[in-house]
Homo-oligomer: A and B are copies of this chain.
């Protein structure tokens, strides 16, 4: 009672289930902003857990996620989308009444489908997705600024407690993010076009290049500054995470892929028939979108992303 209210952390105990890029970044920003009284961490692999301990990412560690969530006021599921259901089932009996359970998965409808059945009465499940990341993964990849000026989408269920939603929103804002509330199905379509399809295309072009007989891999690498190198960054992302995204956002991704392929066929036809005007018009439209992304603070205006 003697403590000033402003020095109280936002949450007493926060559990991080999964200590990769997102989990470790959450730890760093919570430490910097004093958002958690205590952090508990869990990871499936012993190596990750040991490294997370070396880095001081949590105050207590357990390979058992149920152990880690005991008494936690806020629980983050930072595991691949395909693993969410099993983890939720495992931790369910240990969840504290009144706790907020959230996740950071890139797909929302499938996570709701897999996690909801396990959430005990009195626990507030609020699915979430911070639109932030890098191509790196693991406990060393995190940094406290990852979420700054990025959007975090929350997709509450129909019966979500407004007060719990406010508390989670405040948490993300304290991490530097803007919060947006969205319908889960719409989230999956929006992220399908802004994230999932771009990653799929990037993976695909890297595979196409690697398989060419007439051009060696060493040539592809040497001359990659012509554009190809940009795709390799996205394609260097965590394969498990992305496998799960495509398997769990199948419908939206297949629909978008169909449109992409249709558009590509039209472009191919314009090239074959030498329709210069059509190409020029299409290419001219893209500059406007780039400018708007920069104006919205979602990319740097420095040429070449500011790389040398």
* Tier of interface size on chain A: 35 or more
Number of copies: 2
Chain B residue contacts of A135, Cβ below 8 A: 290, 303-304
Partner of A305, one of B210, B228, B307: B307
Q: Which residue of B lies closest to A268 (CB)?
A: B257
**CB-contacts of A165-208 with B (<8 A):** 180, 186, 189-191, 193-208
Does A4 touch B at the CB level, under 8 Å? Answer: no
Partner of A271, one of B220, B223, B247: B247
Chain B residue contacts of A203, Cβ below 8 A: 267, 282-283, 286
The 5 closest A-B pairs by CB, nearest first: A195-B226, A134-B303, A239-B283, A198-B227, A235-B286
Taking Cβ atoms with an 8 Å cutoff, the residues of A that contact B are: 82, 106, 131-136, 141, 145, 148-151, 153, 180, 186, 189-191, 193-212, 214-215, 217, 219-237, 239-240, 242-244, 246-247, 250, 253-254, 256-257, 259-261, 263-264, 267-268, 271-272, 274, 276, 279-280, 282-287, 289-293, 296, 298-300, 303-308
